């Protein structure tokens, strides 16, 4: 009685301070990570609330040891000993339930507690459902606490994986947009002084020391409808051709926005246990390869822009090869005199080389540089590669020839798709972006309007019965484009059994709006651009044109119809 009065009267301040220390805590509140949205505002990365469980091993083990000691005591009554034993059994049952709820072995739990016996903190589980955390807290184990957290969820799974990326277990971006836009998405954690009950559950906020600032949402230029089709068709073709890998890029010609980007193999960002580093690489941005004949339209455009060749001029490719010392450039056969259009249609290496020889190396190099080859595109995606465009001062005659048909320089698929946009914009190159544009941007003229339209029409012959990509046709629309089939450089040797098959094209030809670029890496079947990549292009371009509601081509209203005359000679014979 006297002790109670003493505590209440003389030690009340001390008792209140001790109670506050037991019940008042300063806790960090993690911010809610912003969503990643597609261009229509549909979420493709969201955060859901979870709980993180931890314990104070010293407190937990001290309780366990006290109960064990009480149960073995010999200086207490039988009834007191029985109560002590029951409490020990009850506590052991709670620890067993803890292990069961967390799906861990009971022995492993005790071993871990022993290892952390001198520590004040031990993690029990991360990112678990709030309901599970509540069941664990209800066991009323001393020192066991639950804190608020968030888990990232990706509704599109592997379809958007390489663009969106993934976060680590701590919620920080490590790949893709999650990494590049991490600062915006992450927000800022808050610090609150809160009151907790004896189970460690928050009762109320006493004071806000630092306000929690949630992360911002980030809206991408990606259209989920085009993205789904792009990934589906690429995946089907990679499996069908037993290819090593594949990539696809879809661009809006006039805004420079990336409407779709997919790669195979892909990964499921929702399942961290299956993540493999090699599958997480965004090949469309990071893999730089020699793209082969898809470079030929750029060679022709550079020559026309330099005024070293006329659109009506014939180029003699006889006898079907060129010898430069020990190096030999060949066509499939002697194709004779070819127009620029036919050089593109028949994919003549000899023709492209002879066109390149007419240009000053400096002017050829400057044009390739202007369309973005050899430098970072600045799309907003991490790990972009610049590729390789050797300086013209280092070019030999062999270099000048091989560069004309896509060897000796390397680029990513995204870079090549971006370069092709100039044929749809009448020679203007717009900055490329993965983020949705709210305002139009100013482009840079890199090619004359006349030449851009001339080369555009030349590429239509590729998607014809005499061309190399009849499979690229799209019902209701005129398509232009170019195939590429390049041998891979392994070490210092080109391997004819390992190829890169590609197709890059635009539609509608009368008023281009979309560029689709497809690359299949080492297909074992149908190992040409026309057979491996063109069919994927056709299906994806058809969907993209439907999504943007592009009107079918109407020859009567074709802005390029007047240019057709320039592709014929005075006698009306096709060049």
- Quickly count helices (H) and strands (E) in the chain: 19, 21
Residue 499: strand, helix, or coil:
strand
Whether 519 and 502 have beta carbons less than 8 Å apart is answered as yes
Report d(CA 509, CA 554) in Å as an integer: 10
Cα 483 to Cα 372, 476, 500, 527: the distances in Å are: 20, 21, 11, 12
Q: Decide if 293 is catalytic.
A: yes
CA atoms within 13 A on the CB side of 291: 35
Report d(CA 47, CA 218) in Å as an integer: 13
Report d(CA 462, CA 455) in Å as an integer: 12
Report d(CA 178, CA 186) in Å as an integer: 9
* Structure tokens that stand for 20 in this block: 């506050």
Active-site entry in 255, 293, 348, 461: 293
* Structure tokens that stand for 524 in this block: 């074992």
The dihedral of CA 144, 150, 156, 158: what is its sign?
A: negative
Q: Which residue has the tokens 């082969």?
A: 292
Q: Which residue has the tokens 């969820």?
A: 153
Ordered DSSP codes for 386-440? --B---GGG--HHHHHHHHTT-S-BB-HHHHHHHHGGGTTTSEEPPPBSBPPSS-
Contact partners, residue 14, CB within 8 Å, separation at least 6: none
- Which residues are the active-site residues? 293
């Amino acid at each position: 009685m006297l002790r109670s009065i003493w505590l209440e009267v003389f030690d009340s301040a001390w008792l209140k301070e001790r109670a506050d220390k037991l019940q008042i805590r300063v806790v960090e509140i993690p911010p809610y990570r912003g969503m990643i949205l597609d261009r229509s505002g549909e979420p493709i990365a969201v955060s859901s609330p979870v709980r993180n469980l931890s314990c104070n091993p010293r407190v937990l083990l001290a309780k366990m040891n006290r109960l064990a000691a009480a149960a073995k005591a010999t200086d207490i009554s039988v009834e007191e000993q029985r109560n002590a034993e029951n409490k020990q059994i009850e506590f052991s049952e709670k620890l067993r339930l803890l292990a069961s709820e967390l799906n861990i072995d009971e022995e492993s739990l005790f071993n871990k507690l022993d290892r952390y016996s001198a520590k004040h903190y031990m993690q029990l589980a991360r990112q678990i459902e709030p309901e599970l955390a509540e069941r664990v807290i209800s066991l009323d184990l001393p020192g066991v606490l639950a804190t608020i957290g968030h888990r990232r969820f990706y509704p599109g799974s592997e379809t958007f994986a390489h663009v969106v990326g993934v976060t680590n277990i701590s919620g920080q971006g490590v790949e893709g947009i999650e990494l590049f836009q991490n600062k915006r998405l992450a927000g800022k954690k808050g610090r609150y002084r809160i009151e907790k009950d004896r189970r460690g559950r928050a009762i109320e906020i006493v004071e806000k020391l630092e306000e929690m600032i949630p992360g911002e949402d980030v809206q991408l230029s990606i259209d989920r409808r085009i993205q789904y089709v792009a990934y589906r068709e690429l995946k089907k073709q990679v499996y069908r051709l037993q290819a090593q890998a594949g990539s696809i890029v879809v661009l809006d010609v006039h805004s420079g926005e990336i409407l779709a980007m997919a790669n195979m193999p892909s990964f499921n960002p929702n399942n961290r246990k299956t993540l493999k580093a090699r599958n997480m690489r965004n090949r469309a941005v990071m893999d730089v390869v020699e793209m082969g004949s898809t470079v030929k339209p750029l060679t022709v455009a550079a020559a026309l822009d330099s005024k070293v060749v006329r659109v009506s001029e014939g180029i003699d490719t006889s006898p079907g090869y060129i010898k430069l010392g020990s190096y030999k450039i060949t066509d499939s056969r002697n194709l004779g005199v070819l127009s620029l259009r036919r050089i593109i249609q028949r994919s003549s290496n000899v023709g492209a080389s002879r066109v390149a020889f007419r240009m000053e190396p400096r002017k050829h190099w400057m044009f390739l540089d202007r369309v973005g080859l050899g430098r970072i595109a600045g799309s907003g995606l991490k790990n972009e590669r610049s590729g390789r465009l050797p300086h013209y001062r280092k070019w030999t005659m062999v270099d000048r020839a091989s560069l004309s048909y896509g060897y000796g320089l390397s680029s990513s698929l995204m870079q090549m798709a971006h370069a092709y946009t100039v044929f749809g914009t009448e020679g203007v190159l717009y900055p490329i972006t993965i983020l949705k544009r709210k305002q139009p941007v100013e482009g840079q003229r890199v090619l004359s309007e006349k030449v851009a339209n001339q080369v555009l029409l030349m590429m239509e012959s590729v998607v014809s019965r005499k061309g190399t990509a009849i499979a690229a046709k799209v019902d209701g629309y005129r398509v232009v484009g170019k195939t590429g089939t390049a041998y891979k450089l392994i070490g210092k040797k080109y391997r004819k059994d390992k190829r890169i098959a590609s197709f890059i094209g635009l539609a509608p030809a009368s008023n281009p709006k979309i560029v689709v670029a497809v690359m299949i890496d080492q297909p074992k079947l149908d190992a040409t651009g026309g057979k491996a990549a063109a069919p994927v292009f056709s299906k994806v371009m058809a969907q993209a044109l439907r999504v943007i509601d592009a009107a079918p081509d109407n020859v009567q209203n074709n802005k390029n119809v007047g240019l057709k005359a320039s592709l014929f000679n005075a006698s009306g014979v096709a060049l």
